[in-house]
Amino acid sequence: MDALTKIRAKINDFPGYGSETDIARSDEETRAYVGERLAALRERLGADAVAQTLDPLIQRSAFANQQILASLERPDIHPGSEIAIDEADLVLLDLADTAASVDSEQVPEYAAKVTAAFDARDAALTGLKPRT
């Protein structure tokens, strides 16, 4: 099963990255999925100082990276790049799914993994090229 099919099993009607509209919607849905799970983890851990280290990630999931998305506002995307983004999204979504089992001691390592996954996703998004 490819990454896009796995993503669609998590997020119904996930459009992928085939058009400008799809890019914006897919980005928003991915970030919302991750943000909801991070926020639930943060809430479960309470006022713990370690839990507060999740706040920048929750913030990152709340807002699109405008520098990246602005450069993607074009009608056609190179299909090879879409696969890389789908794979990066899937890694991030899979990490989000594990948030429910993360305890306070695991937060620093977990936060580092989520940060790395967001960074990899941003790198994949910047790799999009117009179709020729």
Share of the chain above pLDDT 70, in %: 85
Q: Identify which of 83, 93, 78 has the alpha carbon closest to the alpha carbon of residue 16.
A: 83
Cβ(19)–Cβ(75) under 8 Å? yes
User: In the chain, where are the structural domains located?
Assistant: 3-126
**Distance separating alpha carbons of residues 15 and 7, to the nearest angstrom:** 10
Rg (CA), the chain: 15
Tell me the residue type at 71: S
Q: What tokens appear for 2 in the block?
A: 């490819």
What is the reported pTM?
A: 0.86
Calpha distance 42→131 (Å, rounded): 41
pLDDT by residue (tens digit) across 80-111?
A: 578 888 999 999 999 999 999 999 999 999 99
pLDDT tens per residue across span 32-70: 999 999 999 999 998 888 888 999 999 999 987 776 666
Please give the DSSP secondary-structure letter assigned to residue 11.
S
